[in-house]
Structure 1
Amino acid sequence: MAEPERTPDGRFVVIDGRRWRATDPDIPEEAAARLRSLLMRARRDVGAARRAQDSEAERDARARVHAAKVALGERGTPWWEQDRAERRQRWQHGLDTLN
């Protein structure tokens, strides 16, 4: 799969003409891959909960989606406004919480 277009500063990706915050490039690849896997699992769980009309399970799954997105640096305090220690703490906390 080709890499999405990025803004010149590298902070955003452009997909179908929309800007989305890019994943923190300082996350080690192994950790980023694990977080992406957890994100995809949570997204699948949102769909399953919606199909089952289980609002509690949907809330839980959406919370996990949000936690993974924050850990990846795609939500919350922008990664470019954090120092390296804060960034590491953010993604490590996400891994600890979601595993």
Structure 2
Amino acid sequence: MKIVTPDGRYFVVKGQLWRCSNPSLTEELRQKLVSELMAARREVKEAKASQDTSRMKHARERVQKAKVALGERGPVWWIDGSPDLNRHRVSKSPYAAWLSTVPERANKD
């Protein structure tokens, strides 16, 4: 079960916050960007296997570009001025009290 913060900004994995994609993206655009991200990740895997550093750099740049376009990295997609807590521990964030209310089974992600 994927645990998403009440504001929809982050999902939680092993006690860490990860930024969600921008919900204002159209489904068509989001799917196109996810497809690009998956292709870039496959390229990273292939570059690692071949130990091609130039290809690896290019592949990682593609991953970064897709993640920024999805809103998962780069400037935040919300406009209320709240800080970006991507990759922060939930227990050390404003979401700590909320997470304590999430059923234990769901919290094992």
- When the two structures are superposed, what TM-score results if normalisation uses the length of structure 2? 0.69
Q: For the residues of structure 2 that align with 1:22 and 1:37, how far apart are their CA atoms?
A: 16
Report the equivalent of 2:24. Answer: 26
Q: For the residues of structure 1 that align with 2:55 and 2:79, how far apart are their CA atoms?
A: 33
Report the equivalent of 2:79. Answer: 81
Report the equivalent of 2:97. Answer: none
Instruction: Give 1:42's aligned amino acid.
Output: A
3-state DSSP of counterpart to 1:23:
coil
Q: Deviations over 1:10-66 (max 9, x none)?
A: 111112322100100010011101100100000010010011010000000000000
Q: For the residues of structure 1 that align with 2:76 and 2:46, how far apart are their CA atoms?
A: 30
Q: For the residues of structure 1 that align with 2:47 and 2:11, how far apart are their CA atoms?
A: 29
Report the equivalent of 1:87. Answer: none
Return 4-13 or 68-77, whichever deviates more: 4-13
Q: For the residues of structure 1 that align with 2:11 and 2:79, how far apart are their CA atoms?
A: 18
Higher RCO by CA contacts (8 Å cutoff, separation 6 or greater):
2
Instruction: Give 1:33's aligned amino acid.
Output: Q
RMSD: 1.4
Larger Rg: 2
C-alpha displacement of 1:5:
1.3
Does 2:61 correspond to 1:58? no
Q: How many residues align?
A: 80
- When the two structures are superposed, what TM-score results if normalisation uses the length of structure 1? 0.76
Report the equivalent of 1:6. Answer: 4
Q: Which runs of 5+ in 1 are unaligned?
A: 83-99
Q: For the residues of structure 2 that align with 1:30 and 1:16, how far apart are their CA atoms?
A: 30
